[in-house]
Amino acid sequence: MFERVHWRASTDEQQIALTFDDGPHASSTPRILEILHQFNVPATFFLVGKHLESNLGLARDIVSAGHEIGNHTFSHSLLYLSTNKRIRDEICRTDKLLRNIDGAEPKFFRPPAGFFTKRVLDTVEQLGYKTVVGDVYPRDPHLPGKKKIVERVLQRTVAGSIIILHDGGNTHRVDRSQTLDALCEIIPSLKMKGFEFLTLSELL
């Protein structure tokens, strides 16, 4: 079952993908886009449908800036606890929203919290998506501090790595300041190590 999931790309090249979960969110998405533009790197954003509904403009900004968007369910539910119908509904509701964005071609799905079962993977594949988790997760939503986020990413990133960071969240008072501050150090540090940033479509 685990071989059906993309954790890291199979490559010897110094190529990696930067991904962001849980957006779009007015308090963090614009700043993330500014940082990515500043350092001229692409990223893949896994969007939550309920956040997408009220922030369609931000999603369009993501795509128009040359980044990629993926499906992260509608309500960020833990799908492994859900019925088959609920799994399908969660993915399809967000898929419909994503496909209404000009230039968007969603190919990838990331299960909330990275939890999945065979039932989840079967449904994802039936709907034409590929499941992606990742191999570098600095636990930035837990607010460990900018320094710790940077250290974890730099220590764990290797050729083909898929880095998981967070954009929006499930509360209106979501705090992504540590992630944003860390991002400004992570990108140039990885570039200095010779890594090239790609979208997931380019990496996988």
Question: Which parts of the chain have pLDDT scores under 50?
Answer: none
Which residues participate in catalysis according to the annotation? 21, 166
Give the residue carrying structure tokens 């209106």.
Answer: 172
Q: What is the pLDDT of residue 81?
A: 85
- The β-bridge partners of 198 are 17
pTM above 0.85, yes or no: yes
Which architecture characterizes domain 2-203 according to CATH? Alpha-Beta Barrel (3.20)
> Which H helix or E strand runs over 166?
strand 162-166
Contacts 24+ apart (CB under 8 A), 60-64: 60/101, 60/102, 61/29, 61/30, 61/33, 62/23, 62/24, 62/29, 62/33, 63/101, 63/102, 63/103, 63/104, 64/103
Q: What is the pLDDT of residue 175?
A: 82
Q: Is 129 helix (H, G, I), strand (E, B) or coil?
A: coil
Helix axis angle, 29-39 relative to 177-192, nearest 10°?
Answer: 20
For residue 37, CA distances in Å to 41, 45, 62 come to 7, 15, 11
Q: What is the pLDDT of residue 171?
A: 55
Q: What is the pLDDT of residue 172?
A: 52
Q: Domain spans of the chain?
A: 2-203
